[in-house]
Amino acid sequence: MLLAAGVSPASAWRHVAAVGDRGEGDGIDEDRVIALVASRVAAGDSGGEALRDATRVLPGSAASAWLGLGALWSVATEAGAPLARSMRSFADALRSLADVERDLAVALAGPAATARIVLTLPAVGVLLGALLGFDTLRILVATPFGLSCLVTGALLTAFARAWMRRLLRRAEPRSRTPGLVPELMAVAMTGGASIARARAAVDRAVDLLGIDAGEEDAVVEDVLALSRRAGVPAADLLRSEADLLRRRARADGRRAAEEAGAALMLPLGACVLPAFLLVGVAPLLASVISSTLPDL
């Protein structure tokens, strides 16, 4: 909003840094990033380099958003293009990804809560057996049968946790800044640069900030080829393609969240519940049998 109102980027960073001190979540680290970038820009450093250095204190997911911002800033500065419109598009993309992450958290909340409850049941079973007067704890830790149940249950639980972590990693967005490379090309061409100069500016920004362009380079080439064949401005086509990539990433993220929520029931049923039966129920049954049939 500050840029759209005509405030220069350096002044905008200074005003944002003056707000600061959000004091919750990752806000403290992000305040440090903003303050560092504001001071570096005020000293005459480029925005891309300032953001590259400042984001080293952030985790990967948060850093990628700031690096994308740095790439936009670098390309717009080099091409002499207005930055406000691109910033709005980029902000919309980040909001979409934040929505996807919230959808993922909601989809996984139920299975995760179920897993936490089930993992406490073995201890409940042991405690219940002790309250009923059965020596389940001794059977669990001092007999071959109990030790085999304990070891097998622990292995099943560890496998379930590894399985669940893998499912969660598969549900994470493949790109934190979808549509960034087409957006960067559109910014460069909006500033009046030729295709070759725009491509060079984008490549320099991507290399400077260590951004993985992935498959988006090929997408840009396809859009540019279409622009030449149809004789239409490439910038509008590039922005449309960037928006399409963001919408596709959001749809993929929602689908991945739903699939992960359903898939997490597999390790619960295949590993966690059997572990509960081995650790919480089998020693109790063995204790009951040994107390009622001592000769066995």
Q: Which amino acid is at 141?
A: V
Residue 251 confidence class, pLDDT cut points 50, 70, 90 = confident
Check whether 25 has a pLDDT greater than 50: no
Residue 115: inside a domain = yes
Residue 16: inside a domain = no
Which residue matches tokens 């691109």?
86
Other CB atoms within 10 Å distance of the CB of residue 79:
21
The residue segments making up the domain with residue 187 are 83-296
Mean per-residue pLDDT, 128-156: 84
- The per-residue pLDDT for 288 is 78
Residue 24 confidence class, pLDDT cut points 50, 70, 90 = very low
Which residue matches tokens 């057996």?
129
Mean per-residue pLDDT, 138-146: 86
The end-to-end CA distance of the chain, in Å, is 80
User: Average per-residue pLDDT in the chain?
Assistant: 79
Residue 155 confidence class, pLDDT cut points 50, 70, 90 = very high
Greater confidence (162 vs 193) lies with 162
- The per-residue pLDDT for 2 is 65
Residue 215: inside a domain = yes
Residue 133: inside a domain = yes
Residue 11: inside a domain = no
Residue 285: inside a domain = yes
- The per-residue pLDDT for 9 is 66
Residue 291's alpha-carbon distances to 77, 133, 137, 138, 284, in angstroms, are 82, 10, 14, 13, 11
Instruction: Indicate the pTM of the whole model.
Output: 0.72
pLDDT in tens, 266-287: 888 888 888 888 887 888 888 7
Residue 27: inside a domain = no
Q: Structurally, how many domains does the chain consist of?
A: 1
pLDDT in tens, 219-229: 999 999 988 88
Check whether 92 has a pLDDT greater than 70: yes
Residue 284: inside a domain = yes
